[in-house]
Each structure stands twice: as structure tokens, then as C-alpha cells.
Structure 1
Amino acid sequence: MFGSPRSPAAAYASVGIETAVPTADPHKLILLLFEGAELAISVGKMHMTQGNIAEKGSSISKAIDIITNGLNASLDHEAGGDLTIKLGALYDYMARRLLWANMKNNAAALDEVTQLLRELHGAWAQIAPGKELAA
């Protein structure tokens, strides 16, 4: 799934994410999507530096899929208003940057999307279910 079959770190990360999904609440599932996208980009970057073209493409495609069919698809446009429109545009931008990074072997674009994901991931982690927001 991630990395080579001999990569213990990739295997551990994969198992950790896969075993967390069945018991996760919706908030935790979004956190897992962020983690999965970040991991896929990281693995894609590793394959990029090693010249493993097929594996790079597969990992970056996985990240694009998580962003478009996971994060973007989970947006509640009725309840979210302007914020969901902006997040949707940001997710679209990230997917396009990843596609460009894959085509051009551009690690800087991968880093840019990783940074954006980390910022959103951190913000989402601060919003705990049932926690009241300050007025």
C-alpha cells in the first residue's frame, strides 16, 4: 500500500490508519484523511527522489483521491456556507498542484501541499466534538 513491502515505517503507518477507521467518529475520520493524504505525499516524495516513477505516481494519485473524494466530498455545503466554498477551492488547488508536481517531478509543490494540509489538519484537531467555540 505505502512504500515498499520491506518498509516497516510504511507498514506501521498503514496498519495504524486502517485499524483506526472502523471505530472513528466523523471528526476523527477527517483527521485520518488528513494523515492519509500527508503520508501518501511523503511516500510519493520519497519515490520521486529515488526515481521510482510508477510508485511516485501511485502515491501522489492516492493523495489526490483522498483530498478530492475524502476531504472535499465531506464538506457540508448547506451548513458550512462561505467556509466550505473556500475549503473546496483550496482542496481543488491542492489536487491540481499535486497533479502538476507529479508531471513535473516538483518536490517543492509536494512540500507546499503538505504544508497546507498540516495547517488545516492542525486547525481541525483543535476542534473537538462537543467542544463549544468561544464567541
Structure 2
Amino acid sequence: MRGAAAYARVGVESSVMSASPHRLIGMLFDGAQTSIRAARLHMQNGDVAEKGKAISRAIDIVNQGLLAALDHERGGELAERLEQIYDYVVRLLLQANLRNDEQRLDEAARLLEDIGSAWREIGQQVDGY
């Protein structure tokens, strides 16, 4: 099992090292969705500790990845609006964790999917991915 985990880690590291800046943001959206899906499964199974870890990972991705990547100088009003949405997503995730609320998880996932999907469409035009 260790070998498989190490192999997966190398695959992820290779993907990150070769990705364009635009693709890296896409990977953050994917990672947040993966963490939210894991949180939902742990919530349904009553595994409070793992649910909390998965939600914390999603929050970290939003705060330290997506939010931190915003360029307010060049992004202007769009960056401000995205910041407000990301802040709202974090609040949804915190409330979902506190209240075991799948609807809040779903709303956070939907918002991130909407933005991530638009981001990927732009990426196809910019990077061809």
C-alpha cells in the first residue's frame, strides 16, 4: 500500500510541476470538490473526525489556494466578487461541519463547480487543456 501511495504522490507532484498557472487553479477546484465529496461520505457514515478533516482540507484549498491566488490589482471588481464568493463558501463549509448539513456542502460544491467550470473553459482557450 505504501508503494501505491508513493506512486500516486509522484504522479500528483509531476502533474503540478508540469502544469501551467491556469491549470494549477483548475487542480485546486478539483481538490476542493474531492474533499467536499469525501466530507459528504464521512458525514453520511457518521465519521465525525474524518468529516472534519475533509472539510478542513476544502477550506484550506479555498483560503490558501483560490483566495490567495486572486490578483486584486489586475482582477479589479471580478477579484472582489470572487473573494466574496470564496468567503461565503468557507462559511457554508464551516456551517456544514458544525450542523452536519449536506445541503450546505451541496451549495458550496455547486458554487465552486460553477466557477471551476468557467475557469476550465477559459483554460481551453488559453492553454488548450
Correspondence for 2:46? 51
1:19-64 deviation line (CA, Å, top 9, x unaligned): 4211111000000000000000000100000000000000000000
CA–CA separation in structure 2 for the residues paired with 1:32 and 1:57: 22
Whose RCO is larger (CA < 8 A, sep 6+)?
A: 2
| 1:81 corresponds to 2:92 | no
Q: 2:123 aligns with which of 122, 125, 128?
A: 128
> Tell me, what secondary structure is at the counterpart of 1:84?
helix
Q: TM-score, normalised by structure 2?
A: 0.87
CA–CA separation in structure 1 for the residues paired with 2:114 and 2:124: 19
| 1:112 corresponds to 2:107 | yes
Q: 1:61 aligns with which of 35, 53, 56?
A: 56
> Tell me, what secondary structure is at the counterpart of 1:127?
helix
Number of aligned pairs? Answer: 121
CA–CA separation in structure 1 for the residues paired with 2:29 and 2:12: 11
Runs of 4+ in 1 over 3 A off after TM superposition: 14-19
CA–CA separation in structure 1 for the residues paired with 2:89 and 2:113: 12
Identity of aligned residues (%): 45
Is the CA contact 1:17–1:32 (under 8 Å) kept in the aligned structure 2? no
Give the root-mean-square deviation of aligned CA atoms: 1.9
Give the CA deviation at 1:93.
0.4
Is the CA contact 1:57–1:102 (under 8 Å) kept in the aligned structure 2? yes
